[in-house]
Structure 1
Amino acid sequence: MASSVLSGGLLLWRRAGNGGVELLIAHMGGPFWARKDERAWSLPKGECEPDEVPLDAARREWTEELGLVAPDGEAVDLGEVRQKSGKRVRAWAVEGDLDPASIVPGTFETEWPPRSGRTQAFPEVDRVAWVDPDTARVKLVAAQADFVDRLVAAVGGG
């Protein structure tokens, strides 16, 4: 049942030149999200396996979704949110930097076009971007915007 699904995610952040912070967010891949922008972004995250530590799942999913080793550094627990779908997301903030052009996204398969009987592969994430907290609050899936406020409260610079 949807309410029992727990995902773990990492929110990478860095100091901006103005003393504020920037956050790395990912645009969800696939045909459903292709023409959407507002509320079509997420932090890299994915479902925890049974008995998997959520932070371990967050690091594993980062690698699966972005094709990069999860960032080292202190993981600041940002708690949990419940998305409209019922999915629970637990996130950690990690300070770091990366070039958005360096991602090599993992893929997923789905029937496309619908009811065609054909399966196509799509990137899990089609792009990532560094954004300021105000932009992140608008672009992220609604429930995940709470992570932005929690990050800013934890590290300052919002």
Structure 2
Amino acid sequence: MTVRSAGILLYRLRPASQLELWIARMGGPYWAGKTAHAWSVPKGEYPAGEDPLAAARREFAEEIGTPAPDADYHRLGDFRQPSGKVITVYTAESDFQPERIVSNTFALEWPKGSGTIRSFPEIDRAEWSTEAEARVRLVKGQLPILDALLRHLGPGAGNPAQPGQPGHDTN
């Protein structure tokens, strides 16, 4: 049986068409202190029969501690991860500015084999990242989500240079 998750990737365009994405660093001891490939779209698992957008909104609120903003959400698609999990991702433009990040937690034996169960936040940090930062920060299996967002937004999204000018990537 395929494990399914649903998530929300918020974006905003800053001056000069600078694309920024709202992403979160995963919590727990494995991810502590890591930056590269340790971030994710806020997401979580949902049961069969639940509406994926409703699940994505619920999971966003659980991981960030603030409800997902009211916005016009667009379904980017379903993305199979290296683990086999499938993430259904929705996106919307928003200038989301939570007062603070308060993630739900999970229990884990730590250190492993110690018999001590500790509680860790699912997300220990979330913030706006440029497209270039997100490409380094996101776990590799989620890079196709970023590419799908760029296709959704159209040519030049996130790249202030115009076609034919230096700095414009046509790939």
TM-score for both structures, normalised by structure 2: 0.86
Q: Give me the whole-angstrom Cα distance separating, in 1, the residues matched to 2:80 and 2:135.
A: 16
Q: Give me the whole-angstrom Cα distance separating, in 1, the residues matched to 2:95 and 2:122.
A: 21
Shift of 1:80: 1.3
Q: Give me the whole-angstrom Cα distance separating, in 2, the residues matched to 1:139 and 1:105.
A: 19
Matched, 1:151 2:149: yes
Q: Which amino acid in the other structure matches residue 110 of structure 2? A: W
Q: Give me the whole-angstrom Cα distance separating, in 2, the residues matched to 1:134 and 1:153.
A: 16
1:138 matched residue in structure 2: 136
Assess if the C-alpha contact under 8 Å between 2:35 and 2:137 holds in 1: yes
Q: Which amino acid in the other structure matches residue 76 of structure 2? A: L
- 1:126-151: per-residue Cα shift (whole Å, max 9, x none)? 00121111221221111211111211
Q: Which amino acid in the other structure matches residue 149 of structure 2? A: L
Matched, 1:121 2:109: no
**Total equivalences in the alignment:** 156
Assess if the C-alpha contact under 8 Å between 1:100 and 1:129 holds in 2: no
Q: Give me the whole-angstrom Cα distance separating, in 2, the residues matched to 1:100 and 1:73.
A: 15
Higher-Rg structure is 2
1:61 matched residue in structure 2: 59
Structure 1: tracts of 5 or more residues without a match: none
Q: Which amino acid in the other structure matches residue 106 of structure 1? A: N
Matched, 1:23 2:26: no
Q: Which amino acid in the other structure matches residue 134 of structure 1? A: A
Q: Which amino acid in the other structure matches residue 73 of structure 1? A: A
1:96 matched residue in structure 2: 94
- 1:53-105: per-residue Cα shift (whole Å, max 9, x none)? 11111001001111101111111111011111111111011111233652111
Alignment of 1:36-115 (within 5 A): 36-99=34-97, 102-115=100-113
Shift of 1:29: 0.2
Q: How large is the RMSD of aligned CA atoms in angstroms?
A: 1.4
Identity of matched residues, %: 47
Superposed structure 1 runs of 4+ greater than 4 Å apart: none
Tell me the secondary structure at the aligned position of residue 67 of structure 2.
coil
Tell me the secondary structure at the aligned position of residue 38 of structure 1.
coil
